[in-house]
Amino acid sequence: MTRRVLVTGGAGFIGSHVADGFLAAGAAVTVMDNLSTGRPQNIPKGAEFKQLDVGSEEARRLVQSGGFEIITHLAAQVDVRVSVTDPLFDAEENLLALLNLLEGARAGGTRRIVFSSSGGVVYGERKPPLSESAPKLPVSPYGVSKLAAEYYLACYSQLYGLETVALRYSNVYGPRQNPHGEAGVVAIFANRLKAGKPLTVYGDGNQTRDYVYVADVARANVLAADAPLPPPDGTVDARAFNIGTGVETSVVALAAAMSAAAGVPARVEHAPARAGELKANAVDAGKAARLLGWRPAVPLAQGLQATYEWIRGEAS
């Protein structure tokens, strides 16, 4: 019997690739998205689509009655600055909506929930590469909501037997990332190169990030849906997995690599450093390799080229 999988946020950047991955694995996929930031053209052919807000009563009823064996939860408020400006809105979107989903899953007999967390915000400013057991001290309400969500998942696992997995992504990039927003430096750089505009680098550009390709992230979600889970160890980290490359790339190095991938000379302009920005971030994904069988497969240069080709094909 074909298993049923629900992908929340499946019209978005990462979520649409995750839906692709489950369809390729033979699952019957339902995408739930309110299209506030998702795009209808991202929804894969072959997926059933429900335009619903995850926090709504209709969404809870769908989860309860839909017979979903697996739920991958990607719908979220993802802008750190929005969370700083409006922490209440961030909590409503990232915590109350999750609880609504969990209540539907508990009543509907869902076996496992795979949650999209963040290796870039839950740890705070630490010396990379960071393991899952690194101390946690989020510096934004967004980071707090992601970490709090992981604790809710662990609690539901203990109380109700729901299998839960948290995937802590590093900086995800690739096709379908919004090149017109403020998040996603790779897409922003690619879009500006396409338009012949200079690349803006904040501060000295030596701040580093761990860039992981979106298709690799989608594969991690598919693997996490079925991998045997480690036993609880009294911490929220037991069933959390970093998903990244462990490689630090500075912003100035990224600008040069993006320029090379695009075959377009880059003009770089520096702007004042942004307050609260992490100086360095990269995650150790060794646990995912051992227990999920996951390793990143797409090198940065290859991923940047694929991203630029997608941006170049998009309507301006």
The secondary structure of residue 94, as a DSSP letter, is I
Start-to-end Cα distance in the chain? 44
For residues 269-282, one letter each, b for 16 or more C-beta atoms within 10 angstroms of the residue's C-beta and e for the rest, the string is eeeeeeeeebebbb
Q: Report cis status (omega within 30 of 0) of the bond before 129.
A: yes
Rg (CA), the chain: 19
Those residues whose C-beta lies under 8 Å from the C-beta of residue 158, and which sit 6 or more positions away, are: 232
Q: Respond yes or no: is residue 142 known to be catalytic.
A: yes
Backbone angles phi, psi at 118, to 5 degrees: -140, 125
211: part of which helix (H) or strand (E)?
A: strand 211-213
Largest CA distance in the chain: 57
Closest by CA to 53, choosing from 70, 36, 69, is: 36
Q: Active site residue: 142, 211, 213, 308, which one? A: 142
Q: What residue ranges do the domains of the chain occupy? A: 4-172+212-243, 174-210+245-282+297-313
CATH topology of domain 174-210+245-282+297-313: UDP-galactose 4-epimerase; domain 1 (3.90.25)
303: part of which helix (H) or strand (E)?
A: helix 300-313
Which residues make beta-bridge pairs with 306?
Answer: none
| Helix, strand, coil abundance in the chain, percent, nearest 5 | 40, 15, 45
CA 121 to mean position of chain CA atoms: 12
DSSP for 229-244? PPPP-SSTTTTEEEES
Per-residue tens of pLDDT for the chain, all 316 residues: 789 999 999 999 999 999 999 999 999 999 999 999 999 999 999 999 999 999 999 999 999 999 999 999 999 998 888 898 999 999 999 999 999 999 999 999 999 999 999 998 898 778 899 999 999 988 889 999 999 999 999 999 999 999 999 999 999 999 999 876 656 899 999 999 999 999 999 999 999 999 999 999 999 999 999 999 998 888 999 999 999 999 999 999 999 999 999 998 989 999 998 776 778 999 999 999 999 999 999 999 999 999 999 999 875 5
pTM over 0.85, yes/no: yes
Closest by CA to 153, choosing from 241, 81, 219, 87, is: 241
- Give the pLDDT score at 71: 98
Report the top-level CATH class of 4-172+212-243.
Answer: alpha beta
